[in-house]
Structure 1
Amino acid sequence: MLSARSIEIIESSPGWRRHRIEFFDLPEGRMVVKGQRPARGPWAHRVLNGIAALAGVPCLKAVPVHGGQKAQDVEVRRLRALAAVGVRVPKVLHVAQDYFVMENMGSTNLVCQLAEGGGEIARQAWLRCAQYVLDAHMAGVYFSQCFARNLIMLPQGVGAIDFEDDPLEVMNLTDAQARDWLAFFQSSLWLLDVSHRWIDEQLDFILSQETPKVQRALALAANRLAWLRHLSNNRKLWGRDGIAIRAAALHLHRYRLRHP
């Protein structure tokens, strides 16, 4: 926990009030102070929920980010719950009315490893993260924003950040875990400079260890979203997100064909 002097340093700083997040080097170590954000409007959620309903894919439903005290309470609760079952996430060190303090896990995320590592480094980083997600699911938990940017590469393994929302508010555990895989694949597969065969082998190995319920939820998503693999590979036309979605849809479609 933090000393009274460290708390005084944090509370006297305008940085986290102005920018919401501020980094500190304190006697207890490197810390992240996270202030509260305003609530977001409902329109984006309504659009995404409409798409999820039309596509018949429950795990695509939007998860509300409440903002304010409620979002902070959600994040602190989720960080503590994940840590309690052995999932590596930042330690919560202090909670105040309008901010909380957590361990700084660093800034080297999976995106950095895939974009800069290349070759075997990138492959091993991706596999480490996939195993981390699977291990969390086997422990009966789930993430919130399971994107490559939120998976932090550490000397001792992998950690995750960003837990301001709770998918179980709008979906069941199976769909929340399937949602984790969709986010992970969408944000990482397009960055892997490897053969389709290598990805096929890894998806077969990793997903074969998932629960049958999660496998069925992913199969449903793969079937309903398969048409997205036909998007053009022209980044100028669709942008980075379009290319990322196309890659995930393509590889999930290939996975589904191998496992009818």
Structure 2
Amino acid sequence: MNNFSVFLQESLAKQQDNIQSYTVATQKVWLKKATARHSTWIYTPLRWLARLFKLNALTPIPNLGGTQAIQCEIQRIEALKALGVSVPQILATQPEGLLTLDAGQQYGLPMYQLDQTLAQCPDPVKKFQYFRYALDAIQHIHNQNSYLSEAFARNILVDEQFHFIFIDFETDPGRVLDIATCQARDWLCFLFSTVRAFDEQELQQVSEMICTCVQNHPAVYQHIRDVGNKLRWANRFNFKRIGHDGQRIQQCLLFFQILEKYRPSQLPTA
């Protein structure tokens, strides 16, 4: 048993929070501890919405919590690492928790959540670079017939040299959805969590960048298009009046309009 395994075993019983950082042998590490299963009732509204509109891409993926969530995270990290995807480095595992190296130490530079990086970046050119490279990183995963878990920008870490690390794998959409739907879900999560960082003029370019990524994947494109088609009725409302989430919805609706221009030739026009 190495030092990290000993530290994990000794710290699990003491730690109160779900996740906490420590310094072990001069290295910053994170200990994630198994917690109680998330109540399934919180997924009910979205599950009904997905069934009502027959939109599998919106199907909520329950977090089973406890040791199942920890094992899911370990398995997903190991599977993505085998594909060459940048994920947290696992230092030690137990059924009740896992210890990972701090993302900043993997590349030697501080890393920040992508949503905050985009929102706070003062240079429009560099902001688009962060976005472009994030798209490339996600597309690299998809091209290997894989997917993320919760592809929100808060679960994507980046440094100033455009190194990316993907985190948070307590759920596995592949257990309930096919690959194309999982990948469509990745793009929808990413879109919803990043559009607010761009103004209306920039959004046109951002939307076209995402559309180009899915254009050569007809099944993925169709899943995303289905969501847009089912939400056409929402174009009559001004969601900007209901705050930040409303602004995100309004911007996503614009994306779905632009998406139609990138319809793969293999798909029908109707």
CA deviations over 1:5-34 (Å, ceiling 9, x no partner) = x44444444797211111122237321110
1:35 maps onto 2:33 in alignment: yes
CA deviations over 1:67-119 (Å, ceiling 9, x no partner) = 00111111100000000011111122211131111121145011122111131
1:55 maps onto 2:53 in alignment: yes
Of 143, 147, 156, 2:148 maps to 143
- Distance (whole Å) between structure 2 residues aligned to residue 257 and residue 82 of structure 1: 32
Give the equivalent residue in structure 1 for 2:107. none
Q: Is the 8 A contact 1:190 1:248 kept in 2?
A: no
> For residues 65-76 of structure 1, what are the structure 2 equivalents within 5 Å?
65-76=63-74
Q: Label 1:65 to 1:198 Cα distance change in 2 as closer, same or farther (>3 A).
A: same
Q: Label 1:17 to 1:120 Cα distance change in 2 as closer, same or farther (>3 A).
A: same
Q: Label 1:204 to 1:168 Cα distance change in 2 as closer, same or farther (>3 A).
A: closer
Aligned-pair CA distance for 1:241: 2.3
Q: Is the 8 A contact 1:189 1:244 kept in 2?
A: yes
CA RMSD of aligned residues (A): 2.2
TM-score, scaled relative to structure 1: 0.89
Give the equivalent residue in structure 2 for 1:123. 128
CA deviations over 1:169-224 (Å, ceiling 9, x no partner) = 22111111100000000010121234343224313432224x22111111112211
Q: Which range is displaced more, 130-139 or 41-50?
A: 41-50
- Distance (whole Å) between structure 2 residues aligned to residue 195 and residue 48 of structure 1: 30
Q: Which range is displaced more, 91-100 or 180-189?
A: 91-100
Q: How many residues align?
A: 255
- Distance (whole Å) between structure 1 residues aligned to residue 61 and residue 131 of structure 2: 26
- Distance (whole Å) between structure 2 residues aligned to residue 89 and residue 228 of structure 1: 37
Letter in 1 for 2:229: N
Q: Unpaired segments of 5 or more residues in structure 2?
A: 105-110, 264-268
Percent sequence identity is: 24
TM-score, scaled relative to structure 2: 0.86
Give the equivalent residue in structure 2 for 1:3. 2
